Structure 1
Amino acid sequence: MKIAILILAAGSSNRMGTAKQLLTIGHTTLIGKSIETALQSNANEVFCVLGANAETIRKSINSYKANVIINTNYNNGLSSSIIAGLDHIENLNFDAVLITLADQPRIDVNYLNVLIDSFNQNPSKISASDYQDNSGVPAIFPKTYFKQLKRLEGDKGAKNVLNSNNQNVIKVNCNTLLDIDTQQDYLDFLKSL
């Protein structure tokens, strides 16, 4: 199965007050860590969707073998990044897309590969992260869901597709889910390293 990873990194980081994609994490940045993890996975190709601060962020990730997609509608929320990404990869013969966020630094290559294995065993179903009450990203969507994903609106991302297709979602347990949205989230994460 041919799988594309779509890293969503177009947001303007309003709650952070600075471009969180460029926050330092060890030897790299928040987005750099996401790309490194994605490149080490069993997926076939990695794409980054940028929007706010696109040129600055693009320069910071130039050394990675990741394809950059620019979302000019990033102010319309997370769904606009999913649509921009799918518009770009739709005709590239991928069987599925693994959607992940640039602000989840605890997601590691092992977890991405567990999702990929789950998808390979169940290629007609969505393999998604289990957030106890509902499903979320990282998640792998078979190509049959691309049209539904492209109808998304607003800042809810893929939640509506995930939680309206419960019978077709395989929930994958992940105890490393953490989003960095505020300075405090970032400082807490650094302390935990």
Structure 2
Amino acid sequence: MINVAILVLSAGKSSRMKTPKQLVKIGTNFLLETVLSKGKEINRNHVYCVLGANANKVRRAISSSKVHFIYNSNFKEGLSASIVTGVTKIERELQNYDAVLILLGDQPAIEKEYINAMLALFSKDKSKIIASNYGTKLGVPAIFPKSYFSELKKISGDFGAKTILNENKDVVCLDKQTNFIDIDTEKDLKDFKKSILK
């Protein structure tokens, strides 16, 4: 049995949306709730969510008792700052995690089956990073073994962990696809809602 922390990144300013995108509605749930629910299905008591911009508003609206919320005061510095904040917190939890699974709070279409396939692949070799294949590049969702926690805490800028994923030989790509759509604009939201109503 592998012990994996789920880290959901949702600290952005939603600069291309007129409202905090964490709180746009998809059906009866907020966007962020949709992602957190999938995280809880995977490892119920070990879901961590990094908030930044509009943190208080988001926290008041999201009723997720099993989620450990973390505030990133450096959210303006980009995605990497949220990873650093989240991984630092996870290390301090003393839960002896084997790895961290990083999800983005604006990717609601990632399937639970896809995540489970990533975890199954990781369980075969816990020294390897498991990444998602976007065609021309690798990205998240991704699983990082605990041996990479120190490296993750050194990243900076808005590229997140992409440099580690795309320049490391110990990365295995999952031979499976999912819907990687991320909700950045009103158009993205409308298109996604149309796709799930088909």
Task: Report how far residue 17 of structure 1 moved.
Answer: 2.5
**What do the CA deviations read for 1:168-193 (whole angstroms, capped 9, x no partner)?**
11111323111111110011001111
Any stretches of 5+ residues in structure 1 without a counterpart?
none
Give runs of aligned pairs for residues 107-122 of structure 1, distance below 5 A. Answer: 107-122=110-125
1:96 touches 1:143 (CA, 8 Å); kept in 2? yes
Amino acid at match of 1:63: S
Amino acid at match of 2:119: I
1:3 touches 1:44 (CA, 8 Å); kept in 2? no
Task: Report how far residue 63 of structure 1 moved.
Answer: 3.4
Amino acid at match of 1:61: I
Task: Report how far residue 18 of structure 1 moved.
Answer: 1.4
Q: Which residue matches 1:13?
A: 14
1:79 touches 1:153 (CA, 8 Å); kept in 2? yes
Aligned mate of 1:151, from 150, 154, 169: 154
Q: Which residue matches 1:171?
A: 173
1:123 has 2:96 as partner: no
- Pair 1:168–1:43, CA change in 2 (3 A): farther
Give runs of aligned pairs for residues 32-181 of structure 1, distance below 5 A. Answer: 32-42=33-43, 45-91=46-92, 92=94, 93-165=96-168, 167-172=169-174, 173-181=176-184
**What do the CA deviations read for 1:56-89 (whole angstroms, capped 9, x no partner)?**
1111223341100000100000000000001101
Amino acid at match of 1:88: K
**What do the CA deviations read for 1:18-64 (whole angstroms, capped 9, x no partner)?**
10000101121110000001111157610000000101111122334
Secondary structure at the counterpart of residue 90 of structure 1:
helix
Secondary structure at the counterpart of residue 63 of structure 1:
coil
1:42 touches 1:113 (CA, 8 Å); kept in 2? no
Aligned residues: 192
Q: Distance in 2 between matches of 1:96 and 1:138?
A: 13
Secondary structure at the counterpart of residue 154 of structure 1:
coil
Q: Distance in 1 between matches of 2:125 and 2:149?
A: 17
| Identity across the alignment (%) | 48
Q: Distance in 2 between matches of 1:94 and 1:31?
A: 24
Q: Distance in 2 between matches of 1:96 and 1:137?
A: 14
- Pair 1:127–1:98, CA change in 2 (3 A): same
Q: Distance in 1 between matches of 2:43 and 2:52?
A: 26
Q: Distance in 2 between matches of 1:115 and 1:68?
A: 24
What TM-score, normalized to structure 2?
0.93
Secondary structure at the counterpart of residue 192 of structure 1:
helix
What TM-score, normalized to structure 1?
0.96
Moved more, 167-176 or 38-47: 38-47
Q: Distance in 2 between matches of 1:117 and 1:59?
A: 35
Secondary structure at the counterpart of residue 118 of structure 1:
helix
Amino acid at match of 1:161: I
